[in-house]
Structure 1
Amino acid sequence: MATVLTRPAPAGARAPLARPSAPPPPSGSCAPPLAPPGRDVFIDVLRLFGIALVVLQHWSMPVLSFAGGEITTGNALASGNAWVVTWISQVMPLVFFAGGAANAISRRGAVRRGTAGPVWLAARLRRLAWPVLPLAAVWLPLPHLLLALGLPEQPVVTAARLAGQLLWFLAIYLVAVAATPLMLRLNAAYGLRVPAALAAGAVAVDVVRFTSGLEVVGFVNIGLVWLAVHQLGFLYADGRLRRPWAMAAAGYGLAALLVAFGPYPGSMIGMPGAAVSNMAPPTVALLAVGIGQIGLAAALRGQITAFAAWPGVARVLGWAGPRMMTVYLWHMSALFAVTAIVVVGLGVSTPEPGGAAWLSGWPHWLVVLAVVMGPLLRVFARFEEPPAAAPYRGGAVRIAVAAALAGAGLLTLTLFGFVPGPAPVLGAAALGAGLLLTRSARR
């Protein structure tokens, strides 16, 4: 996951993507300083913070026990009022927002350099999909090997399925990346009206979903909600994300009203046995929380960048940046390995969430997971960057097919995971074919 970002365009840049200069940002806007040019540390920190919090949440919330050859899973955040934590810990809206800013910065830089859209998209697609190949290479044969060694089938199948579910983010993010040139043009012409229209569409989808009972309609919001927060990243890159405190208050306030008086649960992640999930598919309540998070982060931008400038913090960020995609893709594998030894092998169940035993054991659990994650990082971080390739020369149709194949492969692996069968093989093959189409022979 790239961390070196050119500083966003100054506020007021509305039309040409390569506008060389602009007046200072209006009062109350969240705009980066105009000089000196360099990295936008704020976006770097948001992306790293988002992935780190995803890992922390995934490692902290499982409630596990093993009996009769089957593993039982629960969620620690489902106990009591712990769901309130998800209004901060569900950070995928922040990740999409930071990705939108990064894509706007990257695309505008490509336009200034004279790089064609298909060439830019080919490079972004390679960076996004390449790290998934070693994950597939390990997990496609691993369930077969574990079953052949005599491990119980249900835990193996559960782990193989969950190992692929993480890829939902990459599948949707790939769509956002492919749509970036078009959405940037809409942003230049209509500004804030674009995410407002996407949000209005999400509201309409939820109204139809909850009044008609057609749950399938809700999946339209996968595009509308995530593209809406991604589009807000464009406004940040323009310096046009204004009144962040008001944005934070409005987002969280609206979310509170929707949860209190609407059909939405309080948790922003799916909970076991819940009739409705705010996450799958995403709802307007999740969008409101995302707007609140973005406003809060933007309001604290000065403090965040000052903290990131501390020498020790800067060193940590510099080390973590080139490894974040690897951490995201492999942190669940570390969880499965520890679970196989501690829960399945030794028969140790998770204590009652929130109790003294759980609270005292939680730090030790995290340390063990981090220790197991270390070797995975050393082995697979080298795949964070794709190998050097000649500039893409295949044209728009070919790169569109490549993106479609890669997206279909990621979606297939999201739905089926790496459970033994033809689907994961086909998904990995589609992903590989998409990557091959991004390459051009050297002249």
Structure 2
Amino acid sequence: MPRSDQTAASLRPLRSDRLAYSAAPPIALLHPAARQPSGSHPGRGRPRGPMLCRRAEAIDAATPPERDRVIDALRALAIVGVVLGHWLVSVVVFDENGPHIASPLQHMPALAPLTWVFQLLGLFFFAGGWANARSLHRAAGRSVGTAAGRSVGTAAGRSVATAAGRAAPRHRAARTRGRACLGGWDRVEPGSPLRSAYPGWLLGRLHRMLRPVVLLAVLVAGGLGGLAAAGWSGTDLYTVGLFVVSPLWFLPVYLGLTALTPLAATAVRRWGAWAALGPAVVVLVLDVLRYGPWWEVPASVGTPNLIAAWLVPYLLGIAFAQGRLSTAAGLRMLIAGVLACAVLILLADYPASMTGVTGADRSNMGPPSLLVPAMAVAQLGVALLLYERLARLLRRPMLWASVVLLNLVAMTVYLWHQTALLTTQLGTHALGLRLPALDGVPVDAAWLAGRIAVFPVCAAVLALLILLFRRWEQRSAPRVLHTEQAGASVRPEA
């Protein structure tokens, strides 16, 4: 291959690090014809053994060495934590007065530390900042390459695109602890590559996230209509409808942060990881206004915290992508986060629970308080401390395949997990059963043990919903192109 063609080929985008899935590995799983040849993975022969192991090894072989597997694992871990946490503390009690929302934290406040383990959205926003920064960086690089190719249209045009691409250093996760140095594509001056690439990039992200939500909205509306026809009251419909769609608060927040990615990347390029202090100070000031003893302010004054609080881990994710935050900072972040949480809970009288508690006067989530970014910093400190160990663990094909598959359906899991729980409850009602762990008031350890025991049933219902609706999520992704050379890596058109 001529050198100009080789360099042009090197400019092809890496796999898309989008919210819901990782493109290349799942294609190897779902379409064996697109699998890498046995010689494409250094030191690995043709996969052998049971079918499941062969598929897992095919996914592992199709994963490029520069891919940061830890980021994908953090995203998957956050999704699992959200699902299990909601199934544990979000309860619809059915009694003689109809359905109403309850929480075991009302009756068992000692369970509050469990929410520190399950509420892992800080990891999700960190992974989102990392992925969006890299995705926008690649989109800007393609914008330069496309413009150069159109202006010349020959090998000379490819050389211009190649020269532009050299301004964006390639990611070397295996050699730089997962950090990506993103050059200067995040500049927002008029005429910059980012300026031309940003609108199309943002529309693509919006489409990928909102398409599955439309399906959920239509089907939930239809389901509520069916319950209304069955004689449910408006109050009961509101209760179960709110229960099902309550996790959707996350989507406008994430979309807002996605829209702010160019400005956030510019801030990180200028101030490094310290840029996260800005939104943290905003949260602190608004908390003082909300909870300070000096004057009364409306509760809505804390609304900007919906963006500011989650912008902290999002900026840290961008800093990690730009190489402005290293794994060596993990211990400092853990200490700072733990100290901040201790001060807020023990001295400033913040609620210990990281989720809302029915009937409580204050909540750390509605809107987020300073405890949210403090806890996120502590959790990210642990993640960075364990980064190298996680990277080694994720070299195991079966574990990595599990992470890939969960990322493939992450959006579907997030949107439908509360529906799976409610469907399980209504299904037992249809069978004439009333299980205390599903319908009873969460008052003691017996309820807690029973609740955990029904998790496998809820997971089975969720798996069925995933099978039904995952294609809707995957259709929102860019087309996957088969490469012209047999055995080459499968790349998405993003």
How does the TM-score come out when normalised to structure 1?
Answer: 0.76
- Summarize deviations over 1:302-334 as a string: whole Å, max 9, x none: 122222221221221222221111011011111
- Summarize deviations over 1:100-131 as a string: whole Å, max 9, x none: 01111111111221271111111111111111
C-alpha displacement at 1:352, in angstroms?
7.0
Q: Does 1:368 align with 2:494?
A: no
Say if 1:69 and 1:152, in contact at 8 Å, map to a contact too: no
Total equivalences in the alignment: 361
* 1:112 partner amino acid: G
Q: Give the RMSD, CA atoms, in angstroms.
A: 2.3
* 2:77 partner amino acid: F
C-alpha displacement at 1:203, in angstroms?
1.0
1:228-247 aligned within 5 A = 228-242=312-326, 243-247=329-333
1:146–1:236 Cα change, 3 Å: same
SS in 1 for 2:304: helix
The answer for the alignment partner of 1:307 in structure 2 is 393
Q: Does 1:142 align with 2:223?
A: yes
The answer for the alignment partner of 2:374 in structure 1 is 288
Say if 2:81 and 2:117, in contact at 8 Å, map to a contact too: no
Match of 2:271 among 180, 190, 202: 190
C-alpha displacement at 1:234, in angstroms?
0.8
- Summarize deviations over 1:340-386 as a string: whole Å, max 9, x none: 23368533333675856335423431111112112211110001134
* 1:384 partner amino acid: E
SS in 2 for 1:73: strand
SS in 1 for 2:353: coil
1:250-289 aligned within 5 A = 250-289=336-375
Say if 2:90 and 2:101, in contact at 8 Å, map to a contact too: yes
Say if 1:222 and 1:282, in contact at 8 Å, map to a contact too: yes
Q: Does 1:52 align with 2:136?
A: no
The answer for the alignment partner of 1:163 in structure 2 is 244
The answer for the alignment partner of 2:435 in structure 1 is 348
Q: Does 1:123 align with 2:204?
A: yes
Say if 2:83 and 2:414, in contact at 8 Å, map to a contact too: yes
Measure, in 1, the Cα distance between the counterparts of 2:378 and 2:264: 22
* 2:249 partner amino acid: W
Measure, in 2, the Cα distance between the counterparts of 1:336 and 1:125: 28
Note the residue ranges of structure 1 that are not aligned, 5 or more in a row. Answer: 7-35, 391-443
Say if 1:43 and 1:98, in contact at 8 Å, map to a contact too: yes
The answer for the alignment partner of 1:225 in structure 2 is 309
1:3–1:143 Cα change, 3 Å: closer
1:423-434 aligned within 5 A = none
Percent identity, aligned pairs only, is 34
Measure, in 2, the Cα distance between the counterparts of 1:239 and 1:5: 24
1:371–1:292 Cα change, 3 Å: same
* 2:111 partner amino acid: A
C-alpha displacement at 1:64, in angstroms?
4.6
1:209–1:355 Cα change, 3 Å: closer
C-alpha displacement at 1:228, in angstroms?
1.7
The answer for the alignment partner of 1:114 in structure 2 is 143
The answer for the alignment partner of 2:70 in structure 1 is 42
Measure, in 2, the Cα distance between the counterparts of 1:69 and 1:347: 15
The answer for the alignment partner of 1:213 in structure 2 is 296
C-alpha displacement at 1:37, in angstroms?
5.2
- Summarize deviations over 1:243-279 as a string: whole Å, max 9, x none: 2111111101111111111131111111122111011
Say if 1:248 and 1:296, in contact at 8 Å, map to a contact too: yes
Say if 1:5 and 1:40, in contact at 8 Å, map to a contact too: no
SS in 2 for 1:166: helix
Say if 1:5 and 1:44, in contact at 8 Å, map to a contact too: no
Q: Which moved more, 1:127-136 or 1:60-69?
A: 60-69
Say if 1:65 and 1:343, in contact at 8 Å, map to a contact too: no
Q: Does 1:90 align with 2:119?
A: yes
C-alpha displacement at 1:151, in angstroms?
4.0
The answer for the alignment partner of 1:413 in structure 2 is none
Measure, in 2, the Cα distance between the counterparts of 1:44 and 1:346: 40
* 2:263 partner amino acid: L
Measure, in 2, the Cα distance between the counterparts of 1:64 and 1:118: 42
Say if 1:65 and 1:349, in contact at 8 Å, map to a contact too: no
1:302–1:207 Cα change, 3 Å: same
1:275–1:343 Cα change, 3 Å: farther
The answer for the alignment partner of 2:468 in structure 1 is 379
- Summarize deviations over 1:131-186 as a string: whole Å, max 9, x none: 11110120122211111023455443211122222111111000011110121122
Q: Which moved more, 1:240-249 or 1:152-161?
A: 152-161
Query: Structure 1 segments of 4 or more deviating over 6 A?
Result: none
C-alpha displacement at 1:97, in angstroms?
1.0
1:311-326 aligned within 5 A = 311-326=397-412
Measure, in 2, the Cα distance between the counterparts of 1:271 and 1:388: 36
Q: Which moved more, 1:373-382 or 1:308-317?
A: 308-317
* 2:307 partner amino acid: G
C-alpha displacement at 1:192, in angstroms?
2.8
Measure, in 2, the Cα distance between the counterparts of 1:257 and 1:348: 41
* 1:204 partner amino acid: V
